[in-house]
Each structure stands twice: as C-alpha cells, then as structure tokens.
Amino acid sequence: MKKLVLLLSILYTISSFSQKITEEVFSPKLNENREITIGLPASYLKNTNQKYPLLILLDGDYLFDPFQGALNYGAYWDDLPEVIIVGINQNKNDERTADCATNEISGLPDEKGNQFFEFIGMELVGYLEKKYRIAPFKIIAGHDVTAGFLNFFLYKEKPLFDAYISMSPELPLGMEEHIPSRLNLLDQNIYYYQSTADGDLKKMQDRIKALDKAVKEIKKPSLNYQFDEFKGASHYSLVLHSIPNALYQFFSVYQPISMSEYNEKIAPLSSGYVDYLIKKYETLEKSLSLKMNIRINDFKAIEAAILKNKAFEELDKLADLAKKNYPKSMLSDYELGLMYENMGDLKKAVKAYQTAFQKEEIGDLTKDMMLDKADELKNQ
C-alpha cells in the first residue's frame, strides 16, 4: 500500500509539471499523417489568458524528453518561462533523412525536404496557433541533419522563428556562408545557438567553426549569439550539454534578480532603482513577448537597494508600481509605510500600515506584521 501511495505521488508530481499529448496531424503538403508530441505547461488550463512561447523540436522522438525536463526544472525555480513544446517525430522509416533532403547543387530543400519545410512553416505552426495560446516568440531546435535543416528558415525575408538551437549541425551546401549573410541583413531580433564537441567528425567541426567565426564578426545588437564547443563530449552527449545552455541564453532576461545582478548592477546605483526594475520587465516583454507581473522578490530586491542607499523618496514610486501589479494586496501601502517611517513621519507611517492591514497578504507580508509595525511606531 505504501509503495502504491508513493508511486501515485510521483506520478502526480510529474504530471503537475506539464501535460504531454501525442496526436497525428494530416499534412496536405506531405500528403500523409505526421505524429507530433505536444507538451503543455502545467499552468495552461489554469491561466486561461496566458500565452506561451512555442518550441518546435525536429527529431522530437528523442529530443522531446530532455527539452521538457530542462524546461520543467527551470520553470520550477522560475529561471525559465513555461513553454509549449511540440516535437515532430521523425523515427519512422528514417523519416528525418527524407524530411531534410536538399539539392546537391543548390543546397536548398529538395523533393520531400521542400514539402517538409512547407509543412512546418505553412501548416503546422498555423495549426498550433489556432488550437493553443501561443505567444509571438517562437523557437526551433534540431540535432545534426535536422540542426542544419532548421537554418533554412533564416533564408526567408521575414523568418518565422525568433530563436534557433542548432546542435552539431550537418550543414547543407554553402550554409556556412549563407547564414552569416542572412543574419547580417535581418532587422528583427534573432537568438542563435550552435554547438559542437571534440567527438564530432572533423569535417563537421571545420564547417561549424567556420560558421561560428563568420557569425562572431557580425556586430549587431539585434543578434544574440552563443557558440559552445564541448570537450570530452560525443556527437550525442553534447545534446544534454547544449539544451540548458541554449535555453538559459535565450531566456536570460526572464530570470529574477539574482545576488550577482543585485550586487553588480543595482546596489551601486546612486538613484533610479525603480526605473531599473521597470526597464527590466519592459525588456522582457519586448524581447520575448511575455507580459507578466513583477515578481515579489524583485520588488524586495529594489526595496533593499533603496533602503541601503537611503533613497527613501523612491519608495513612493515603488508603491505606485506595486499598486499597478498587485492592486488588492498590501504591498503598495507597506512600501508607503516604509517611506514615511524612514523619513520620520511616523503618523503617516502608522496610517499606511493600518491601511495595509485591510488588504490581502502577499509574499512574506502578513496582517500581523502590519499591526506589529503600526503598534511599534505608536509607542515611539
């Protein structure tokens, strides 16, 4: 009985992270059914107004689980956003070879490769956008032959995807020259990650490194690029190294304020602490198309910097920001109470804490805490 309860507990914990669905989608372009695996975020059914970034995985039959695991782990610690994952399974009758077919002379998708390219861009993404709540930010990922193939989406005048994860790519003809040229011309923000390992074939490494060298010469703020060369890794094990590196590269702006960010960027400021917080979340929305409430811990980090540097008047602006993000909570009145208390206006501080008492608790702020602070100031 204990073993059964433990098993059910484990299964509940896993299912609470995300939902996994396998279905077949008919493609008129391919004239066949294709199997896809869909991972919906744990909050998908609860947060009915929330839209989520989309991650398309080529080689979904073996890349889906490691990507889902990394994303679930990052989302648990609020380091990575929740993402809708869609894996295109390509292990049936060696589909990946036919799917990624290219012309030996032009280096472009050919025969079924062209049909598969159109299936993704003209059918699958549109199908998913109609069925699920998908944010504008879209990622595509692949490994070896599919990693090379996904780069063709950069050849379009306006690429469908914003971010590309190319793990040990087997590059089609001329791609190490074409990709830097395209990246140099594109105006939209592009996130690009590629990797290799000393266990890769030398002829693959040479072309991958040539591509890396050319991309690193591009100096554009709209290009977010990272290259990894893993030592002691094989062509296959590099995948498990690449996945978290790529995700944390793309979503670095999403992460909450860390101790290093606080110590290096916030605490040394002489003013503008609240402006820093506002800009951080504006950048998040602009870069990743994600609109979210400012985290409580980020409010507390800015509050700590204000108190440390005795810029107490900024607590007024922080209170306004708290009211916009959490209008029913006590956070806004608490920040006002802190401001009045530190500026010596104890009467207004007591009133602010008493008002906070009437609002909803949030984070580590409680009604008892507000009463205690008000009573303490009354007795001074």
- pLDDT at position 78 is 94
Kindly report, residue by residue over 300-341, the tens digit of the pLDDT. 999 999 999 999 999 999 999 999 999 999 999 999 999 999
Token output for 217: 């010469």
3-state secondary structure of 9: helix
The answer to whether 238 and 197 have CB atoms below 8 angstroms apart is yes
Gap between the Cα atoms of 372 and 28, Å rounded:
68
Gap between the Cα atoms of 207 and 182, Å rounded:
17
Q: For the chain, which residues score pLDDT lower than 70?
A: 1-18
Gap between the Cα atoms of 357 and 366, Å rounded:
8
Q: Are strands 190-199 and 223-234 parallel, antiparallel or unpaired?
A: parallel
Alpha helices, DSSP H, located in 289-330: 296-308, 314-325
Kindly report, residue by residue over 346-361, the tens digit of the pLDDT. 999 999 999 999 999 9
Kindly report, residue by residue over 150-200, the tens digit of the pLDDT. 999 999 999 999 999 999 999 999 999 999 999 999 999 999 999 999 999
- pLDDT at position 6 is 37
- pLDDT at position 5 is 38
Cβ-defined contacts of 333-341 (< 8 Å, 24+) = 333/359, 334/365, 334/370, 335/299, 335/303, 337/370, 337/373, 338/303, 338/307, 338/312, 339/312, 339/313, 339/315, 341/373, 341/377
The answer to whether 209 and 176 have CB atoms below 8 angstroms apart is no
* DSSP string of 243-273, one letter each residue: HHHHHHHHTGGGSPPPHHHIIIIITT-SS-H
Q: Using a pLDDT cut of 70, give the percent of the chain over it.
A: 95
- pLDDT at position 18 is 63
Gap between the Cα atoms of 34 and 13, Å rounded:
30
Please indicate, yes or no, whether the overall pTM of this predicted structure exceeds 0.75. Answer: yes
Gap between the Cα atoms of 307 and 156, Å rounded:
51
Q: How many Cβ atoms sit within 10 Å of the Cβ of residue 52?
A: 21
